[in-house]
Structure 1
């Protein structure tokens, strides 16, 4: 898919088992990519990307991001899933997103930005006024993209695991115009 001219990107808000499996497959691809590219980013003990821990999260993904206060989006190019992002309620007016991933086949086509825009629009429809997230410090390329769409640094939320703080950063963005 790389190197081709303008590709048609479709974004869908998931609502069925087939779509959830597409999102799970993308998350599994991300986990594989993560461990191949960043094997020592974090101590093994307590790592949120530990395969068995991650597997349990993927199994419960539809519940964790259930409508009407959450959602899961999948982006496709030529009917091939190439990216995903999901969100849930963090507090009354604040959404939290996570598991954003664009596969190597989808990179360079604006998929990440399109996923974020679709998610922001849905969050606004859902009544949220702010969005926040936590990510790993080693993902510096992702942080630059988030800054480009208006995210700014914020403190870790109350109750965030102390042992994860040295390896993560938190950001937020207003959803108001």
Structure 2
């Protein structure tokens, strides 16, 4: 993503993930925002989630899994039947969490740059 495209995405996060087709979930530790996840509609019945982060100082509380479970529950309530995402291959603990939550690997989308194929993976699951 180019710097210009990245900046535009940041400026439009509220529109990209707004209700009723998207969502932003925030996790807190001792009242301090410590993690988040965002999702939006990719196509009718299918959601894509992005931007799952847990603050380094808040890791070890299970926030990632709690965010993932809460997001899936909200997606089901929103009427989605499937969810997918992409993530970096170096985030091995995250991948294990996704696999434990029922996500399975899927192919890279058509046109995905060859130079990124070993750095990024895609997964999905039914809801």
For normalisation by structure 2, the TM-score amounts to 0.89
CA shift, 1:53, in A, is: 4.6
- Measure the CA separation in 1 of the matches of 2:37 and 2:20: 16
- 1:55 deviation in Å? 3.5
Q: How many residues align?
A: 127
Match of 1:109? 61
**2:99 corresponds to 1:147:** yes
Change (3 A) 1:120 1:104: same
How many Å separate the matches in 2 of 1:83 and 1:173? 22
Root-mean-square deviation (CA, aligned residues, Å) is 1.8
Over alpha carbons, which structure has the higher Rg? Answer: 1
Q: How far does residue 137 in structure 1 lie from its aligned partner after superposition?
A: 1.3
> Greater strand share, 1 or 2?
2
Q: How far does residue 93 in structure 1 lie from its aligned partner after superposition?
A: 1.2
* 1:68 aligns with one of 8, 20, 28: 20
> Structure 2: how far apart are the matches of 1:72 and 1:96?
12
Q: Please, what TM-score do these two structures have when normalized by structure 1?
A: 0.66
Counterpart of 1:92 in structure 2 is 44
Once the two structures are TM-superposed, the CA of residue 162 in structure 1 deviates from its matched residue by 4.6
